[in-house]
Amino acid sequence: MPNRHYLKRDFNNWSIYTLAIVIFIAVPILTIFLKLFSGPGETWQHIVKNLLADYTINSLWLIFGCIILTLLFGVSSAWIVSRYKIPFQNTIEWMLILPLAIPSYITAYAYAGIFDYGGSLELLLRKVGISMIKIDIMNIYGLIVVLSLSLFPYVYVSTRAVFLYQSNRLIEASKLLGASEIKTFFNIVLPVARPAIIGGLFLVLMEVLNDYGAAKYFGVNTFTTGIFRTWFSLEEPNTAVYLSALLLLVVFVLIFLERLQRGDKKYNLALKSDIQLPKKNSSKKFQFLLFGLASIPLVFGFLLPFLQLVYWAFLTYSDTISIAFFNTALQSLSISILTAFLTVLIAVMVLYFPKWNRLKFLKDTPKIAVLGYAIPGAVIALGVMIPTLVLDKWFIKTMKQVMNIDIGLIINGTIAILVYAYIIRFLAVAFNPIEASQTKIGKQLSESSKLLGKNNLVTFIKIELPLLKTGLLSAFILVFVDIMKELPLTLILKPYHINTLAVKAYEYASDEQIMEASIPSLLIIVTGIIPIILLNKLILGAK
């Protein structure tokens, strides 16, 4: 039995810890996959016959449209701010990340409010004496635009980092060889930035496929609205899980296609001490043109919806602001901070434990960490509840037998399960920036430390942790902002006495009090803006 032999030889404590953490992450996801084998419910035929085509076409359109638009907004603005001198350079640079602070369903509501009958646009036009030009944005095209405007910063952030620090030598070389600006951009800059762009695009797509609120309000039936409909209106969770599996399949096909097209080409040029090219100076007119171009996604992705919310808040603040409201804000904040911290901690464990363990089959475990991000929040809630309830019930039984006390549910209905579900959902968001920082550090330092007799943990704390700081902080901030905005999970799993701003906003909105939803939404945005500014400083400060 050679296998056994290896097992014995390579087994160390880290293998146990790795295994523990794999179980921790994989159980909810496995629960969902196991549901697949119980077969789809009886309405599956009905869905295939009447709805599936609609869901598929709409979802594909959304994906396609959002890819084009987020690329356009994200890459062009990243290119402008990293290569050219423009007025208000620094302000524009960090403000372009702000659309991320508004939950996309809130952006959708705000836009509906702007273009609505009696909406802000009409009021404005009336003031200048033009009668209403009715623009209907509540359809799939409107949805594509709104989602792209609120999600393009994912592409912008990752692309700008590359434009700033990685492609400069190549750009110089290309110029020296006489290539034009445009040719350099398409032949050199874009291919080098491609992995970063794709990384950002991947996050965009996950968010698009996960969107429920905006699509539902705009009356566009997608896979995700379909999942909710089959689960709740048709009462068939099994069929709903089937639909989410199909959704996952779409995601995997997309990833596969990208890999296929990229082929073996690798542009990872490990250029050290990258030089930052001086930004190009151009005529005043051209500068203002570029400024205008870079501001478009900012104005439409952030300023306009923000102003609409401020207007609504102005109309309704007297009814919505109370002490209880500030309490909610505080709870929201503390849950997000606590969970973001834990998520980062676990992301670090997921990254390092498998490295320190010597068993081969456990080395690849980080890959499962990203899966949670691809699964809709409501489905994750189900995946988390089922196994923890089994555990809860077992605890209750044993405690009754052993100590004769009834302890009740200790995981479900407490904050523990909510935090657990958040971690599963957002682990990928934390994992990516940490992994990126870790790759930059390289192995030499930690290996020298180990040669000098320090163990894994000491090496990590003394050597790698300080170097990982940027990655860790970025991870923390991204997860923090995501949790502040999170809705479906929170709705299902939150315990009594706990309320979040996102839930509060949803309560108002679901009761058609969209104006009243503006104040909690604004608070989500404001608490999101501060860490986002911080994040920007980090990216610029990082080398």
Residues of span 462-501 touching other proteins by CB under 8 A: 491-492, 494-497, 499
- Name which position in 88, 232, 256, 394 contacts other proteins (CB under 8 A): 232
7 or 68, CB closer to other proteins? Answer: 7
Closest to 432 measured CA to CA, from 259, 206, 267, 95: 206
141 or 267, CB closer to other proteins? Answer: 141
Binding of other proteins at residue 534 (CB under 8 A)? no
Residues 163 and 287: their CA atoms lie apart, in Å, by 19
CB of 425 to other proteins, least distance (A): 16
Taking each continuous run of H as one helix and of E as one strand, the counts in the chain are 27, 0
- Name which position in 221, 250, 258, 337 contacts other proteins (CB under 8 A): 221
Binding of other proteins at residue 321 (CB under 8 A)? no
CB of 383 to other proteins, least distance (A): 11
3-class DSSP state of 415: helix
Binding of other proteins at residue 315 (CB under 8 A)? yes
- Name which position in 55, 73, 154, 231 contacts other proteins (CB under 8 A): 231
Sign of CA dihedral 370, 373, 374, 376: positive
CB of 344 to other proteins, least distance (A): 19
Q: Which of residues 329-388 bind other proteins (CB under 8 A)?
A: 378, 382, 385-386
Sign of CA dihedral 298, 300, 302, 307: positive
- Name which position in 3, 233, 281, 404 contacts other proteins (CB under 8 A): 233
Binding of other proteins at residue 411 (CB under 8 A)? yes
Which structure tokens are listed for 514? Answer: 């969209």
Binding of other proteins at residue 396 (CB under 8 A)? yes
455 or 510, CB closer to other proteins? Answer: 510
Which structure tokens are listed for 26? Answer: 């994989």
Residues 207 and 525: their CA atoms lie apart, in Å, by 18
- In one-letter notation, the amino acid at residue 449 is S
Interacting span for other proteins (CB under 8 A) from 64-72, 82-90, 289-297, 411-419: 411-419
Check residue 413 and give left, alpha or beta (phi > 0: left; psi -120 to 50: alpha): left
Check residue 39 and give left, alpha or beta (phi > 0: left; psi -120 to 50: alpha): left
Sign of CA dihedral 310, 313, 317, 322: negative
Check residue 257 and give left, alpha or beta (phi > 0: left; psi -120 to 50: alpha): alpha
The phi, psi pair for 84, rounded to 5°, reads: -120, 155
CB of 108 to other proteins, least distance (A): 11
Q: Which of residues 92-121 bind other proteins (CB under 8 A)?
A: 112, 116-119
CB of 30 to other proteins, least distance (A): 17
415 or 472, CB closer to other proteins? Answer: 415
434 or 515, CB closer to other proteins? Answer: 515
Residues 516 and 463: their CA atoms lie apart, in Å, by 50
228 or 356, CB closer to other proteins? Answer: 228
Placement of tokens 């690329």 in the chain: 71
234 or 245, CB closer to other proteins? Answer: 234
Check residue 235 and give left, alpha or beta (phi > 0: left; psi -120 to 50: alpha): left
CB of 229 to other proteins, least distance (A): 6
CB of 118 to other proteins, least distance (A): 3
Q: Which residues lie closer than 8 Å to 252 by C-beta, 6 or more apart?
A: none
Binding of other proteins at residue 8 (CB under 8 A)? no
- Name which position in 191, 195, 199, 413 contacts other proteins (CB under 8 A): 413
Task: Please provide the DSSP assignment of 428-466 as one string.
Answer: HHHHHHHHHHHHHH-SHHHHHHHHTT--HHHHIIIIIHH
Q: Which of residues 255-314 bind other proteins (CB under 8 A)?
A: 312
Interacting span for other proteins (CB under 8 A) from 27-35, 223-231, 252-260, 365-373: 223-231
- Name which position in 235, 253, 257, 341 contacts other proteins (CB under 8 A): 235
84 or 356, CB closer to other proteins? Answer: 356
